[in-house]
Structure 1
């Protein structure tokens, strides 16, 4: 492990000597993640991207990518674009990245089941803002807005999410 890594512990998400309260998937942590199981996958996952809403905040890093109303994430195992960012209109099951709530104003992308997705293994594991403390996700890791932004600004190309 390096100081750039984010490490999920029982106490929270550890990064650069700090431990931040977080929530995980309602299905707990599992080594055999499946689409729709609500689990957070065990293992080491590279940080591969950072998405943000330019209408709500400024870019947290020089490599952050802006998202807009037509940006979606495919979560349909039958689609050839499964577990990829796609654009509307999109005929398959998907998740809208520009939401009315602030959950996806800033998204840290991991390489879970990406870039060569295995159908049914589960779509994206994001690190994003939580609804409220203790409220579980569908498998992602969620943090307080201030903590999420602090972590995003400190990420490097070597950063990984380590779920133990």
Structure 2
């Protein structure tokens, strides 16, 4: 007599087959969804500007990059000598929480400390240097002014007047100095912007330095070649941030602000920190 198949075993095998088929279909469906909406781990960029003390006016800049949140910052440049305000640093208004200490004021000769977005690039050329892709570019003209007078409307904003024959009374003092070769390229550091508070500082740019040891009135200055290198390097989609700090504040804020290690942002930083110890 031929044995009849076990009905329970048959049902179990059938159910397992259905489960396998369903699992395969589910995996196929998930793969399709992931292909339609791929996971994105965007590139991030950070520019560090570090000086030894809050009253220093010379320091170093470095470019950093990483993929996704929480990863390790990778240096993308060597140490670039920079100059800041002749009176050092005071706290600016940017992406960071308010910090205890002296706050940036108009005309104080200090560069704003903190973390900031990069904004508009201005230049005298028709377009950015070859290889640059930054979408925010404005060719400077004799009709342009950047308002630094806290009593005027549009404080800390670019203003273009309608005609040169009858400019406003304030225009001459506020106009962009397109005849200055050191201001051929200007990258706006978004301190106290866009909701500018009158008197809290304005017109902070990255621009070419006037001399190897000549400080600025509050901007960040560097060699022209390195400035052009920065303009070519920054990617709008990577949302580059610039961090401007003294070594003591960098040490304090390195972890909370998710910054690259200090030794990567400033040469011989360990020696300087130790020299400042009692």
Question: What is the TM-score with the length of structure 1 in the denominator?
Answer: 0.89
Structure 1 range deviating more: 30-39 or 58-67 = 58-67
TM-score norm. by structure 2 comes to 0.54
Aligned length: 161
Q: After TM superposition, list the pairs within 5 Å mapping 1:7-156 onto structure 2.
A: 7-10=48-51, 11-15=59-63, 16-31=76-91, 32-54=103-125, 58-60=127-129, 61-62=132-133, 63=135, 64-88=137-161, 89-92=167-170, 94-156=173-235
Preserved contact between residue 24 and residue 139 of structure 1 (Cα < 8 Å): yes
Aligned-residue Cα RMSD (Å) equals: 1.8
When Rg is computed on C-alpha atoms for both structures, the one with the higher figure is: 2
- Report the Cα distance in structure 1 between the residues aligned to 2:60 and 2:174, rounded to whole angstroms: 26
- Counterpart-to-counterpart distance in 2, 1:27 and 1:40: 8
CA positional deviation for 1:66 = 1.2
Q: Is the 8 A contact 1:127 1:141 kept in 2?
A: yes
Name whichever of 81-90 and 28-37 sits farther off. 81-90
Shift of 1:87: 2.2
* Unpaired runs of at least 5, structure 2: 1-42, 52-58, 64-75, 92-102, 162-166, 246-278
Measured after TM superposition, the shift of residue 101 of structure 1 is 2.3
Match of 2:47 in 1: 6
**C-alpha displacement at 1:4, in angstroms?**
2.0
Displacement after TM superposition at 1:97 (Å): 2.2
Q: What is the DSSP-based 3-state SS (H/G/I as helix, E as strand, rest coil) of the residue aligned with 1:18?
A: coil
CA contact (8 A) 1:67 1:98 kept: no
Matches of 2:195 and 2:81, distance apart in 1: 31
Q: Higher helix share goes to which structure? A: 2
Uncovered stretches (5+) of structure 1, i.e. residues with no partner: none
The answer (yes or no) to whether the contact 2:141–2:178 under 8 Å persists in 1 is no
Q: Which has the higher contact order (CA 8 A, sep 6+)?
A: 1
